[in-house]
Amino acid sequence: MKFFSLRTFFSCACVGSSYTSDMNTTRAPQNRHHKLQASYLKQIAEIGPFVEGSLCEFKREGRKSSSWHLTYKIKGKTQTVYVPVDMVEEVRQWTEEHRRLKQLIRKETKQSLAIIHGHVASRRAANRAR
Q: DSSP string spanning 47-77?
A: ------SEEEEE--TT-SS-EEEEEEEETTE
Helix H or strand E segment including 45:
helix 32-45
pLDDT band at residue 72 under the 50/70/90 scheme: very high
11 has a pLDDT exceeding 50: no
SS3 78: strand
Paired sense of beta strands 67-74 and 77-83, if any: antiparallel
SS3 19: strand
pLDDT band at residue 91 under the 50/70/90 scheme: very high
Decide if 68 contacts 83 (C-beta within 8 A): yes
Q: How much is the average pLDDT of 74-91?
A: 96
pLDDT band at residue 110 under the 50/70/90 scheme: very high
Q: How much is the average pLDDT of 45-69?
A: 91
Task: Kindly report the average pLDDT of the chain as a whole number.
Answer: 81
Tens digit of pLDDT for each residue in 23-55? 554 555 478 888 888 888 999 998 999 999 999
State whether the Cα torsion 79-47-109-25 is positive or negative. Answer: negative
Distance between CA atoms of residues 42 and 100, nearest Å:
13
